[in-house]
Structure 1
Amino acid sequence: MSSKKALCLNCRQWSFDIHVCEHCGYIISQAAKDEIKQKEYNKLNPPKPPSKLRRAMEYLRTSKNPLLKLLYYLLMGVWMIYVGLVMSIMYIAAAASG
């Protein structure tokens, strides 16, 4: 029966635990190191709350009132037309410049 071993870069001894060295406690696994870094980053930089516009659009999208849902889809349709026009103008400008 074979078991995995990991070489600790701190004390240079083989450890049966592939995540943490059983001799010195050094974290061997890169995934564990990344998880700790992500937790520290999230602690220092908490996520921003959604803006008023995003909350309003989410309310319109999930509303049970059909008129509010219609308003949401009309606003999104106008937004998509605007984005399409801007992209086509940018494409023409890029094509014209060579």
Structure 2
Amino acid sequence: MTEPTDQQIPAEPHDGIDAFNNPDARAYEENQSSPLARASAGGPPPTDAPPAGEAPEVGGTGAGDPLEGVRITDEDAAEAVDGDDGPEHPGVRRSS
């Protein structure tokens, strides 16, 4: 154990330097999100939102139809092109 002394201890070389007062540290802090950040920036609700107390209409997969939006309609079928039949020249198998 060391003995206590009245001798002055020299200052550390980094004493008086603010480690957060430099361009890199400031840029890092500016790009950090707030710990109190919320998912919304606020503002009024969307105009198509249902009135308070009413549930929105649910459609598509949310309504329980897993194929909603996957089935092809008659209009899409009329505009569709024929599928690919494979390469024009399938090549020849060579024996080594």
Normalized against structure 1, the TM-score is what?
0.24
Higher normalized contact order (CA 8 Å, seq sep 6+, divided by chain length)? 1
Q: Give 1 or 2: higher strand fraction.
A: 1
Normalized against structure 2, the TM-score is what?
0.24
> Higher Cα Rg: structure 1 or 2?
2
